[in-house]
Amino acid sequence: MKILLVTYWFLPHVGGVNTYINVLRDELIRNGHEVDVLAHYTKKNDKIYMLTNGQFVDKSKIKKAVYEIVFQYYEQNQPYVESWIRWREIERYSFELALSLFNLEQYDIIHAQDIISSRALARVKPDHVPLVSTIHGFLASEHRIAGNIKSTKSIAWKYVHSEELYGATAAQRTIVPTYWLTRLFTDKKVNVPPSQLSTIPYGIDIKKFMQQYRSPISNHFPSISKRKTILLCVARMVHVKGHHILLEALALLKKKRSDFVCLLVGDGHLMHSLRSLSRRLNLERHIYFLGDRDDVPQLIRRSDILVLPSIQDNHPFTVMEGQIAGKLVIASNAGGIPEMIYSGKTGLLFPNRNSRKLAKRIDYALTYPKRRKKIARQGKQWGLKQWAPSTLAQKTLDIYERAVKHTALELIDSNDHELDFNEEVSSRIKLPISDIHTPVPPTHEITVPKNNSWFSDSEIPDPAFIAALKKAHRN
């Protein structure tokens, strides 16, 4: 099959979606499939590009026209819709129209990686191409945690739940990695039918990870005394990842002992404020901000304990990587993390948002190194069995098969034959795996038509969201 993986988020970056796409693409290619990846190019979100060949669309050339249409509509028809919602609408429609300029006809299946791309693709993809989605988190709660939404009674709060519903139900089948996420989506606030969802835990390319793990560190590594235990936190620097909880815990720990340092890997809009917090807590000698890194496995090898203080998280790759590496993982009990760690057996959990309890868990691990290493060994045994990438690939291919058959049945009145998935797959030859971790930069621009007639048939705004906003306003 020829498969397209699509995400609204920019690639590459330090984060779970990036890792998931890399792992899945590797495994699909090993199984004989051809795979392309489509994403935003940088944090600026101005270009959408094909990572495998450098084709791109300059989204800014579309956005101005979309802005005028959306702004005018809401001003005239629904003036109560706040600017934050309008911005999200404009951004999604611009992304949607940019996707429509790529040749989506050529694919046997499209696999979206978030609610934004899922809804967008459902509206512009060819009818004969099946759509599958994997949802990696629950954005509605993340907006609330980040402070973008102040009240659960607001139109914005109801709007983001509509985003979750329409994104999760846009595809023929929707994959979620944890039962925690399944419960959120099937809750009455979102109300996704349980039959829409399939739970497939992530996998990790263990062989490739261990090859990187044993390689030399490729970037700067701080000079650290051998008497210090090294903690490592790998996460985007956004509020939902809970870095401030970790810093508060380390400040409490510092009152008792000083035999530790903590490496923070990742970037994000909170970098500056976290540096300031570190200074206010007098942690300068204990904290190293390393930014985004491409040598995370090597950093794990140089560390002793991995810490993940997330306020909300789904199925973090950091936990998987720490377990595979045989390192103790200390994490919050947020989201789907308890499905990955049996506290005291395969890692240590602490109550979400509780810096005092986190400090106690770290103190325990530092005080009892033999117990720490025993739990780490047990975590490794669990991880090697649980996180095999072949399991992820096979279960995902099973979902593709269902989606292909579902689409064939929908089109049976207009087609003389139904695709035999198994025959089609088995006829594929094994293809070599290209270097997916070095994307081709945007070099071949796809022309955006100068007038707006090319998208005059598009329903902008989306009628489903118009109705959702009217309902939210009435209630």
Q: What is the pLDDT of residues 297-319, one digit of tens each?
A: 999 999 999 999 999 999 999 99
Mean pLDDT confidence for 254-268: 96
> What is each CA distance from 131 to 121, 177, 281, 366, in whole angstroms?
8, 18, 49, 48
**CA separation for the pair 19, 28 (Å, rounded):** 14
206-386 CATH: 3.40.50.2000
Confidence at 199, pLDDT banded by 50, 70, 90? very high
Query: Is the domain covering 2-203+389-474 a CATH 3.40.50.2000 domain?
Result: yes
What are the tens digits of pLDDT across the range 364-416? 999 999 999 999 999 999 999 999 999 999 999 999 999 999 888 877 655 54
In the predicted model, what is the mean pLDDT of the chain?
Answer: 92
The pLDDT score that the predictor gives to residue 414 is 54
Residue extent(s) of CATH 3.40.50.2000 domains in the chain: 2-203+389-474, 206-386
User: pLDDT tier at 245 (50, 70, 90 boundaries)?
Assistant: very high
Q: If you search the block for the tokens 């419960």, which residue do you land on?
A: 183
Q: Record the tokens describing residue 409, joined without a space.
A: 């049945």
Residue whose C-alpha is closest to residue 324's, from 230, 222, 214, 398: 214
The number of CA neighbours under 13 Å toward the Cβ of 418 is: 14
pTM of the model: 0.88
The residue assigned the tokens 């290493």 is 373
What percent of the chain stands above pLDDT 70?
94
431 pLDDT above the threshold of 60: no
pLDDT digits (tens, 9 = 90+) for 328-354: 999 999 999 999 999 999 999 999 999
Average pLDDT over residues 121-145: 95
Q: What's the pLDDT score for residue 413?
A: 52
